[in-house]
Amino acid sequence: MPVSASFALSLFRRGVAIAFAASQNLLRSEGLRVAYETLYRKYRPRKFADVVGQRHVVRALQNALASRRIAHAYLFCGQRGTGKTTMARLLAMALNCEQGIVSEPCGTCTACQSIIKGAAMDVIEIDAASHTGVEAVREVIVERVSFLPAAFRYKVYIIDEVHMLSTAAFNALLKTLEEPPPQVVFVLATTDPHKVPATIRSRCLRFDFHPLSACDIVGRLTFVLEQEGWQGRYEPAALVLISRAARGALRDALTMLEQAMNFADDGLTVDLVRSLLGVTDDEFLARLVDGLRKGDIPALWRLVAEAVETGRDLHQIAHDLAAYLRDLLNFKVGVPAEETEERLALLKEQANLFDETELIRLVRAAWELERDLRTASDPQLVLEVGLLNMAMLLKTPEVTVAPVVKPTTLTTPIGVTREVTTKEPEPQPLTVTEPAEGQSSIDHIRQHWNIFLEHLKRISMVAYSFLLNAEPTDLQDNQLVLTFQHAFSYECANDRSYRDTIEQCLREVFNRPDLRIKPILSSQVSMPKVGTPVEAAGTPKSGTTPEEVDTEEFLASLFDTP
Ligand SMILES: [Zn+2]
């Protein structure tokens, strides 16, 4: 788990502990006023209109309420902290408000108030994580479900983390869902919908809760700070930092905010939040990026050593480097971000050092590095090699550019032998035996594919990494069809320089000086173009440039990621 996430989790747990302690005090002091209430509880929405994000869910529920189309069971799916339980309570309020079944509960009547306080007899919240036994479900649901609501119009069962129920408990629940008593509504909430049996899922109206955007979270944090009288005592960029660390979970963001407020004597600053969250400072990240740009390996490794000496978390550095590179990419492609002027200037300066493709590659590599570091037994080594790899990623195109081949390859008609690149000085290649008699060439290549990969690895680690999810699927004349699973690797393999490297290596290993590659995407294979002549299947079609679409897809995935 990334440090910021685990930190957020520990903060969150503390938040829960505080909330728990507060509720205990409330019980003990029997009505004595307890001054402390966590921000998350205090600012929990009491109306659909106050819900942050999730407009699609709110709209659908309100429409259903307005037209009285009430389902017996709802399934709320989404990561933690996105408001599933809050929405469930709002639904319970809308069904039971003293003003009638309403699309917006009043929030002030006795019924609404008792639901807000969690004191309503007819709104039963069950945490499946702590009630996994079949007995609990039987007792809480099956045996009591047939009784009419005690005071309300509807009895509402909210089962949180429903995927944690045991099989027997699911079966008990399923029985109830199959013959739902009237005046009973189930809201099942889960972070893992695929762990909920299909039989249950199929009986529920499903809503997917999205991670909240940084923008939504910053907006809510700002609102809370203003309500709390913090006007002029916080730096907006500090809220951006918190929203990023929260990764789409408003509950975590509010808990972090609360923690920061407790420490913020002289105001809520970027520096304070950064030190609380353990986020790597921009200055360090900028030096890393400079080192990458210059390909200055000694400088990069000195930075790693410095980080180790000063006790920084290396995994966190990789995480923050990925985020920083993503910010550079955002800046480059003109996605506006809420940043201080100072930071914008830094981003501008560094974004100018790269083109978009380079930044995409770097972001991707940084993500992979972060993933590798999660399980690394020697994080320093992994970070060093990862940075080296990223620096090479930038260098490779210049180093291996072979000016001999003109980019007319794509229009070369089938059967016409092309001019071959002149031989370059090479490390002695691993070679393979000639194909056995009767063995097809493609089988021969497949059989020795690993030898080729080994050789490629020695020449270009980066090109090698792209080919790891590719398969040689066909050989037509001298054109080897490589089928890629991922658009990103496919795109990189199509890159002139990597392509040259791969072809060069193939020719040597298989001793076929005319061998060329034709990268294709596996998704393209299954959808052949209608009307494409059969004999043209192996011909590279000019004008077919699926790269553009893939880049867009990849970019979209970048910005969708919380
Ligand atoms: Zn009400």
DSSP 71-86: -SEEEEE--TTSSHHH
Q: Of 208, 224, 253, which residue constitutes the final position of a domain?
A: 208
pLDDT at 340: 67
Give the number of other CB atoms < 10 A from CB of residue 462. 24
Ligand 1 centroid distance, CA of 72 (Å): 21
Tens digit of pLDDT at every position of the chain (562 positions): 444 444 444 444 444 334 433 433 333 333 344 456 789 889 999 999 999 999 999 999 999 999 999 999 999 999 988 999 999 999 999 999 999 999 999 999 999 999 999 899 999 988 887 766 666 777 777 777 878 888 899 999 999 999 988 888 888 889 889 888 889 999 999 999 999 999 999 999 999 999 998 888 999 999 999 999 999 999 988 998 898 888 789 998 999 899 899 888 889 998 888 888 877 888 889 999 999 999 888 899 899 998 888 888 898 899 989 989 998 998 888 876 666 677 788 889 999 999 999 999 999 999 999 998 888 888 998 999 899 999 988 876 543 333 333 333 333 333 333 333 334 344 455 667 777 777 788 888 988 898 888 888 777 766 777 787 788 999 988 899 999 877 667 777 777 767 888 998 899 888 888 899 998 888 776 544 333 333 333 333 344 333 333 444 544 444 443 3
Distance 195 CA to ligand 1 centre (A): 35
Q: Tell me which residue of 449, 516, 443, 452 sits closest to 479, measured CA to CA.
A: 516
Report the pLDDT value the prediction gives residue 310, as an integer from 0 to 100.
80
What pLDDT, on a 0 to 100 scale, did the predictor assign at position 204?
95
Strand ranges for 118-236 from DSSP E: 123-127, 155-160, 184-190, 205-208
Nearest to 319 by CA among 561, 27, 511: 561
How many angstroms does the Cα of residue 46 sit away from the middle of ligand 1? 10
Is 460 within a domain?
yes
Structure tokens at 520: 């294709």
- Please give the distance, rounded to the nearest whole angstrom, from the Cα atom of residue 156 to the centre of ligand 1: 15
Q: Output the CA 70–ligand 1 centroid distance in Å.
A: 18
Q: Ligand 1 centroid to 194 CA: how many Å?
A: 35
Domain contains 243: no
Judgement on whether residues 351 and 442 belong to the same structural domain of the protein: no
Distance 301 CA to ligand 1 centre (A): 62
Split into its structural domains, the chain has a count of: 3
- Measured at the CA of 358, the angle between CA 357 and CA 364, to 5 degrees, comes to 90
CA of 109 to the centre of ligand 1 (A): 4
CA of 68 from ligand 1 middle (Å) equals 17
Interval between CA 151 and ligand 1 midpoint (Å): 14
| Residue 160 near residue 189 (C-beta atoms within 8 A) | yes
3-state secondary structure of 60: helix
Give the CATH number, domain containing residue 99: 3.40.50.300
Pair 342, 443 in one domain: no
Instruction: Please tell me the predicted confidence (pLDDT) of residue 422.
Output: 39
Residue 55 C-alpha to ligand 1 middle, in angstroms? Answer: 21
Boundary-marking domain end, from 375, 399, 423: 399
Q: Are residues 432 and 395 in the same domain?
A: no
Same structural domain, 352 and 392 = yes
Cα 459 to ligand 1 centre (Å): 70
Domain contains 388: yes
Report the length, in residues, of the chain.
562
Span from the CA of 113 to the centroid of ligand 1 (angstroms): 7
What's the gap in Å between 110 CA and the centre of ligand 1?
Answer: 7
Residues 128 and 198 in one domain: yes
Residue 231 lies inside a defined structural domain of this protein: no
Residue 32 counted as domain residue: no
Output the CA 175–ligand 1 centroid distance in Å: 32
Shared-domain flag, residues 547 and 475: yes
Q: Domain containing 420 — which CATH number?
A: 3.30.300.180
3-class SS letters over 315-380: HHHHHHHHHHHHHHHHHHCCCCCCCCHHHHHHHHHHHCCCCHHHHHHHHHHHHHHHHHHHCCCCHH
**27 found inside a domain:** no
| DSSP symbol at 150 | S
Q: Is the domain of 323 the same as that of 428?
A: no
Q: Are residues 358 and 430 in the same domain?
A: no
Report CA(142)–ligand 1 centroid distance (Å): 28
Q: Which residue has the tokens 């037509």?
A: 476
Q: Is 446 in the same domain as 329?
A: no
Distance 49 CA to ligand 1 centre (A): 14
Which amino acid, one-letter code, is at 167? T
Can you tell me the distance from the alpha carbon of 209 to that of 86, in angstroms, rounded to the nearest whole number? 12
Q: How far is the CA of 396 from the centre of ligand 1 (A)?
A: 65
pLDDT of residue 393: 86
Whole-number Å distance, alpha carbon 45 to ligand 1 midpoint, is 14
Q: Using an 8 Å Cβ cutoff, are 54 and 250 in contact?
A: no
Whether 213 is covered by a domain: the verdict is no
Distance 223 CA to ligand 1 centre (A): 24
Q: Calculate how far, in angstroms, residue 89's C-alpha sits from the geometric centre of ligand 1.
A: 12
**Whole-number Å distance between alpha carbons of 24 and 306:** 47
pLDDT of residue 396: 63
CA–CA dist 352, 137 (Å, integer): 60
CA 98–ligand 1 middle distance (angstroms):
5
142 alpha carbon, distance to own chain's centre: 38
- Which of 371, 399, 427 terminates a domain? The answer is 399
Determine the Cα–Cα distance for residues 161 and 190; give it in Å rounded to an integer.
Answer: 5
Please tell me whether residues 300 and 355 are part of one structural domain.
yes
Task: Indicate whether 229 belongs to any domain.
Answer: no
pTM of the model: 0.57
Which whole-number Å values give the CA distances from 140 to 202, 441, 449, 499, in the listed order? 22, 67, 60, 63
pLDDT (0 to 100) of residue 29: 38
How far is the centre of ligand 1, averaged over its atoms, from the C-alpha of 99 (Å)? 6
Measured in Å, residue 26 CA sits from the centre of ligand 1 at: 24
Residues with CB under 5 A from ligand 1 (ion): 97, 105-106, 109, 112
Give pLDDT, residue 36.
66
The Å distance, Cα 107 to ligand 1 centre, comes to 5
| Segments forming the whole domain that contains residue 435 | 409-529+539-557
Task: Please give the distance, rounded to the nearest whole angstrom, from the Cα atom of residue 116 to the centre of ligand 1.
Answer: 10
The domain that holds 357 is classified in CATH as: 1.20.272.10
Determine the distance separating the centroid of ligand 1 and the alpha carbon of 154, expressed in angstroms. Answer: 13
Distance from residue 547's CA to the centre of ligand 1 (Å): 55
Dist. CA 114 → ligand 1 center (Å): 10
What is the C-alpha to C-alpha distance for residues 497 and 401, in angstroms, rounded to an integer? 5
From the list 57, 79, 83, the residue with the least C-alpha distance to 192 is 79
CA of 197 to the centre of ligand 1 (A): 35
C-alpha 182 – ligand 1 centre gap (Å): 22
Same domain, 360 and 459: no
How far is the centre of ligand 1, averaged over its atoms, from the C-alpha of 101 (Å)?
A: 9
Residue 111: helix, strand or coil by DSSP?
helix
Residue 150 C-alpha to ligand 1 middle, in angstroms? 17
133 plus 73 within the same structural domain: yes
Beta bridge partners of 484: 470, 521
